Amino acid sequence: MSTAIPRAVSVDGPGLERDLAAWSAAPEPARFPYLPVVGAYHAVGKHFVAASVLKHLDVARSALSQTTDIQTPDIDPETPRLAAFLDVLLDKFDERYDYQTYLALSLLPMPDGGESPLQAATAGDAQRQHDRLLVQLGTDALAFELAALDGDTGLFPHLRPDPPVAAKRCRLGLRSLGPALERLSLAEDLEPALRPGRQGDPLSAARQICARVRADASPGERRVVDLSVLPVWTSHDEYLFIRVLQAFETRFALLAVRLRAALAALAIGRPRTAAAEVRNAQAGLEESFRLFSLLATMQVASFQEFRRYTEGASAIQSRNYKLVESLCRIPDEDRLDSAAYRSVPELRERVLQGQPNLDDAVWLACRANELTPAEREDVTGALHGFAARVMQWRQTHYSLAVRMLGDRPGTGYTEGTPYLRQARGIPVFQKTDQKSDPGR
C-alpha cells in the first residue's frame, strides 16, 4: 500500500534551489515542483528549512504574483492554489506563523455552507464534503503509522512509538472514522471483523481502509492530502497531532453549517427543522469525541519536543471553533476583546456588526409567541442538549491538555491550561439556558 510520506520526493538542497530558480524564471503554476518542496520540508521540519530554500520560495511567490497581475481575468485555477501553498510554506519566513498556517487550513476544502444563515440547503452537501475530507485526513495519519511500522519511511524518526501503540492508533483511528466511512459506503464488502469498530486485526483493517480511501480520492483530493501536513520538526507524533487537529477543524466547520441551517429554518418559520439541525450538530460533535482517544496516544515527551517550535500557533486562534461559539450567542464583551477573538478580526467584526445567533433567534421567537409550546420545548431542548455536549467537549479537551502540558504556558502567547480551565465554563447559550423561561 502506498503511504503518505514516501509520496514526497527527497532532493538535495542545491538541486531544489536550481529547480525553484528555473521555475521562477518561467513561472507556470502547473509545473511547480510541489513534491520536492514538501520533501525538503519533511526532511528537517518547517522550523529548520534552509534560509536559501526559503529565499528561493519567496522569489517564486513574487514571480507568481507578477504573472497573475498581467494575466486576463481567466486566471489559471492552479494559481490561487499555488499562492495559498506558498503562503503556508513561508509563514515563519514572513513572521506571521499561526494556527491557521501551522495546520495549512487554507489548503483544505472545508465544508462551507456560505456566510449567509439563509443557505440551509447546503447542509447535506457539507456533510458529504466533511466526511470525504475527514476520512482522507484520518487514513493518511494511519497510513503514516503503517509506513513507519513497516520500515517504508525514514522520515519523522524521532521518538517513534512501539508497535503496540501503532496498532492501538489504527484501532482507535478506524473507530473515529467509522461513521463517516459508513455514510460514504467505504467500509462495505470488508470482512465483518475488519470493519471499523469491530474486533479483529487493526493493522490489517487499517491497510485495507487506507488503500480503499486513497483509491476513492480524486487527483485533486490526493494532492490536498499530500501537501497539507508540514510538521515543524521531525518528531513522529507531530504527524498524528496535525491530522487530528485538522479533523477537529473540519468537524467544527460542519457544525457551523448545521447551526446556520438552524438559523435559516427559524427565519422561515420552521422550528422543527431548526431543532433537527441543532441535533445534527450535537450528533456530529459526539462523533468527534472519538478523536480525543486517538490523540491521547500521543507521547508526552514527543509533544513537548515539537511544541518548542510552534510558538505563535495555538488552538486559541481557531476560527471555526469561535464561529460555532458566536453562532450560538453573542460572546461577552471581555471575550470579544480577548486574544481569542482578536486573532480572527474578520469574524470579530462580523459579530460586532450583528451576526445572527441562535440564542437571540429563539428568544425573540418565543417572546413574539411565534412558537407553540411543543415547538418551544423541541427547540430549547435541542439547544440544551447541544450545549451539554459542548461543555463536555471543552472538559475533555482541558483534561487532555493538562496531561500533555501540565502547568506549562501555552503557545500562541496564551496561558495554556489556565486559559482552558477558565474558558470551559463559558455558557454556550444564555437567554435560552435551562434556568430561563424565554417565553416570559
Find the range with the poorest average confidence among 79-88, 225-234, 397-406: 397-406
438 has a pLDDT exceeding 50:
no
**Do residue 282 and residue 361 come from a single domain?**
yes
**Do residue 92 and residue 125 come from a single domain?**
no
Q: Per the structure block, which three cell numbers stand in for 249?
A: 477543524
**Do residue 146 and residue 224 come from a single domain?**
yes
Q: Are 202 and 126 in contact (CB under 8 A)?
A: no
**Do the domain assignments include residue 105?**
no
**Do residue 47 and residue 124 come from a single domain?**
no
Q: Is the dihedral of CA 106, 107, 111, 114 positive or negative?
A: positive
For residue 418, the model assigns a pLDDT of 72
Tally of structural domains, the chain: 2
**Do the domain assignments include residue 90?**
yes
Residue-wise pLDDT for 397-415, tens only, equals 999 988 888 765 555 445 5
**Do the domain assignments include residue 101?**
no
Cβ count near 12 (within 10 Å): 10
**Do residue 126 and residue 85 come from a single domain?**
no
**Do residue 142 and residue 48 come from a single domain?**
no
**Do the domain assignments include residue 78?**
yes
Q: Are 250 and 105 in contact (CB under 8 A)?
A: no
> Containing domain of residue 219, as a range?
120-303+311-423
Residue-wise pLDDT for 21-66, tens only, equals 999 999 999 999 999 999 999 999 999 999 999 999 999 999 999 8
CA distance 380 to 231: 43
113 has a pLDDT exceeding 60:
no
**Do residue 92 and residue 128 come from a single domain?**
no
CA distance 142 to 149: 11
Q: What is the DSSP letter of 235?
A: B
**Do the domain assignments include residue 52?**
yes
**Do residue 143 and residue 56 come from a single domain?**
no
**Do residue 278 and residue 164 come from a single domain?**
yes
Q: Are 174 and 146 in contact (CB under 8 A)?
A: no
**Do residue 350 and residue 255 come from a single domain?**
yes
Return the closest-CA partner of residue 130 out of 85, 188, 77, 183: 183
**Do residue 131 and residue 56 come from a single domain?**
no
**Do the domain assignments include residue 212?**
yes
For residue 436, the model assigns a pLDDT of 44
Residue-wise pLDDT for 245-271, tens only, equals 999 999 999 999 999 999 999 999 999
- Residues in Cβ contact with 335 at an 8 Å cutoff, skipping those fewer than 6 apart: 341, 426
CATH number at residue 261: 1.20.58.480
**Do residue 201 and residue 321 come from a single domain?**
yes
**Do the domain assignments include residue 214?**
yes
Task: Report DSSP letters for 108-161, one per residue.
Answer: S------SSTT-GGGHHHHHHHHHHHHHHHHHHHHHHHHHHHHT---SS-BTPP
For residue 424, the model assigns a pLDDT of 83
**Do the domain assignments include residue 437?**
no
